[in-house]
Amino acid sequence: MNYNDLDLNLIKTFLCVYECKSILLASKKLYISQPAVSKSIQKLEELLGGKLFVRTPKGVIATNEGEEFNSACYNSMKVLNNGMNKFASLSNLNEGKLNIGSSSTIIRKILLDFIVKFNKKYPNIVISITDTNSEKLEKYVKNNYIDLAILNLPIKEPDKFQITNIFETHDCFIASKNFNKDFLSKEELKNQKLILQKRPSSNRDHFEKMCDENGIVLRPSFEIGSFGLITDFVEKNMGVGYTIKEFIQDDVKKGRVKILKTDFISKSRKIAVITPLITINSFACERFIEELKKEFE
């Protein structure tokens, strides 16, 4: 026989009879009749092919086989109980691990304050953070190396993921505070030293698409890995940068750079959470996404 043939209630009854050493006391403890207890023990013995108890004037005594079976059942039920407690602990977020991925800019400019709040609320959740580009993040989520990624849309294979939109971002051109103009036309942008994010990058792909829609070709003088470095280069008056408005608000307030007005039309984009399409998310992952949506509603 195997465990699929076994009714867990029979084990529960057996353990109670073993502990009480009495059919009568076990029936009272289980709130069922004596015949029901006896029938359960008999059925279990038939399934196992041997006697579990010997009746005596003072109650029942386990056979040698019954002693061995009790030891196995007790340990198994202890493992099951531990598993149930572990599940409850995870579901209540008293423990767990969360592997998230994003770009360094989104982490610093958007997620850091939220992660601080989440950690204070759920201090026992261990958070592991992977910092890389969108192309790798898609691969890591698809292969279950990380639980979720927060990145700019669009992505290359949207049909492979569950996508949860978080908020919108808006692109802009920025210049040094000492730059002599506040407005640049599309034609004037052609003559500027442009500082763009280098490939592979969904942001660079979006920029190229916007150039096509505006009917112009804009070529970079500098190609840089992160938005933070783009801002640093612009501050040094090395050229005009193309970046995301929501990421540079503090830099504008501090007077490091300024946002240029232009007739270059750029569509807003969404930052979203992506998770595997066919995998059930952990409790920690679901709560993180739920709290993140509330944060930016």
Q: Kindly report the pTM of this predicted structure.
A: 0.70
Question: Which domains are present in the chain?
Answer: 3-91 (1.10.10.10), 99-164+277-296 (3.40.190.10), 171-267 (3.40.190.10)
What interhelical angle do 8-20 and 23-30 show, nearest 10?
Answer: 130
Half-sphere exposure of 118 (CA within 13 A, CB side): 23
Whether residue 102 contacts residue 137, with contact meaning beta carbons closer than 8 Å, is answered with yes
d(Cα 2, Cα 67) in Å, to the nearest integer? 20
Walk along the chain (297 residues) and give the pLDDT tens digit of each residue: 566 667 889 989 999 999 999 999 999 999 999 999 999 999 999 988 899 999 998 889 999 999 999 988 888 888 887 778 778 777 778 888 999 999 988 998 889 999 999 999 999 999 999 999 888 999 999 888 999 999 988 888 899 999 999 989 999 999 999 999 999 999 999 999 999 998 878 888 899 999 999 999 999 999 998 888 999 999 999 999 999 999 899 999 999 999 999 999 999 999 999 998 877 888 899 999 999 999 988
Report the alpha-carbon distance of residue 249 to residue 83 in Å, rounded: 48
DSSP code for 281: P
